[in-house]
Amino acid sequence: MTVYLDYAATAPLRKEVFECYAEHLQNLGNPSSVHSTGQKIRRALEEARESVARSVDCNRSEVIFTAGGTESDNLAIKGLYWQRNSEEIVRPLIVSSGTEHHASIDPMEWLQNHDGAEIVWLPVDYQGIIDFDFFEKFLEENHQRVALVNLMWANNETGVVTDMAKVVAIAKKFDIPVHSDAIAAFGHIPVSFSNSGLSTMSISAHKVGGPVGAGALIVSRSTKLVSIIHGGGQERGMRSGTMNAPVAKAFALAAELAVAELETETKRLSALRDRLVQGVLALSPLAHHTARDSKRMPHNAHFTFEGCSGDSLLFLLDQQGVCVSVGSACQAGVNGPSHVLVAMGRTEREALGCIRMTLGKESTDADIDAVLAALPKALDGAARAGLTS
């Protein structure tokens, strides 16, 4: 039997979501067509938009459907940067953190290499919290040159939650737009776009039991973006291309279910996570719980293991039927320490020995039992192998 503890990479497609997706795949029509068949598909698309808007607490017109979180982050970061620099004032600075996902880091670095952007990396403490004093002082002194602030709502590796209300409140003093990658947060903790004050926010379907290849960028009605995809001008002119109604309907249902179950699942998963953390720490003095004193996601347990390679632990656990990760699945197979842990002040040696275990809808006490039973053998093998990267 396989024990799946990698929900942060992707969650299983929910049965009811699959059925919804399959049903709408059979419907003919282009949502942009004016005839009755096309308009039937359009109604389905707009119903999905309204549903997603309810789930994230925003206006329906603010939901821009995309092909996933990475596209959403690219559209927000590049679109905001280009829009802010289309005026007479030059604003080359992007304020962010070294703990961001590569879906944000890579487009920022692309702008740095191609458009002369300058990235300001905010200091992050040992628990993964940004230095708010530095942040505010930097904006006070440099706000006229800042294009945008980009900070994720919850870290996909460590599960650390950022105080987005505080981030936005500081940036708002200087009329600086803030984008947040909320992909790891949405569906796992309460997320309200309207209350956040954000300019843009990205979410993804497959993190909450929806299909891969579906996402959305929430764009406030007062925010303008330069598009990165040009064509028919769909999605408020920000994301051209034929809209995918079946995927949108499936995404909307997955989001609706995740939000409806949020309170009960938070309580259940927090208890499972705490049992997992306590069990791992009791098993081995090599184990250290990352960011234990920070506000964390209820389903995330992240560890470092002294003298062990995270990759070795992953493969040794996998041999026993336990699926975990060493961080973002997008970086799987890339040798080297976790950039998130290095930014948090860990040494490269420490950052090589990390494991992320994330729980979800189908996780049970039996899964925790299986992990704790498998871990001693895996730790013994990994310790004997040492750090090989």
User: Same structural domain for residues 199 and 78?
Assistant: yes
SS (H, E, C) the chain: CCEECECCCCCCCCHHHHHHHHHHHCCCCCCCCCCHHHHHHHHHHHHHHHHHHHHHCCCHHHEEEECCHHHHHHHHHHHHHHHHCCCCCCCCEEEEECCCCHHHHHHHHHHHHHHCCEEEEECECCCCCECHHHHHHHHHHHHHHEEEEECCCECCCCCEECCHHHHHHHHHCCCCCEEEECCCCECCECCCHHHHCCCEEEEECCCCCCCCCCEEEEECCCCCCCCCCCCCCCCCCCCCCCCCHHHHHHHHHHHHHHHHCHHHHHHHHHHHHHHHHHHHHHHCCCEEECCCCCCECCCEEEEEECCCCHHHHHHHHHCCCEECECCCHHHCCCCCCCHHHHHCCCCHHHHCCEEEEECCCCCCHHHHHHHHHHHHHHHHHHHHHCCCC
User: Same structural domain for residues 212 and 358?
Assistant: no
User: Same structural domain for residues 360 and 289?
Assistant: yes
Q: Residue type for 197, please? A: G
User: Same structural domain for residues 158 and 40?
Assistant: yes
CA 223 – CA 294 distance, rounded (Å): 32
Domain termination residue (choose one: 244, 260, 276): 260
User: Same structural domain for residues 152 and 198?
Assistant: yes
pLDDT at position 97: 98
User: Same structural domain for residues 7 and 28?
Assistant: no
User: Same structural domain for residues 74 and 222?
Assistant: yes
- Is the pTM for the entire model greater than 0.85? yes
Place of tokens 């189908």: 362
Average pLDDT by stretches of 10, the chain with 389 residues: 94 97 91 88 94 98 97 98 93 98 98 98 96 98 98 97 98 98 98 98 98 97 95 91 94 98 97 97 94 89 94 96 80 72 94 96 97 96 74
User: Same structural domain for residues 180 and 287?
Assistant: no
User: Same structural domain for residues 248 and 361?
Assistant: no
What's the number of domains the chain is made of? 2
**Which residues form the catalytic set?**
330
Domain termination residue (choose one: 260, 280, 306): 260
User: Same structural domain for residues 55 and 98?
Assistant: yes
Place of tokens 């704790």: 372
Domain termination residue (choose one: 260, 275, 304): 260
User: Same structural domain for residues 174 and 289?
Assistant: no
pLDDT tens string 336-347: 799 999 999 999
Query: Could you tell me if 157 and 183 are in contact, meaning their C-beta atoms sit under 8 angstroms apart?
Result: no
pLDDT at position 167: 98
- By residue range, what is the domain housing residue 152? 15-260
Q: Residue type for 102, please? A: H
pLDDT at position 215: 97
User: Same structural domain for residues 96 and 115?
Assistant: yes
The domain that holds 311 is classified in CATH as 3.90.1150.10
Cβ neighbors of 24 (< 8 A, separation 6 or more) are: 44, 245, 246, 249, 250
The domain that holds 213 is classified in CATH as 3.40.640.10
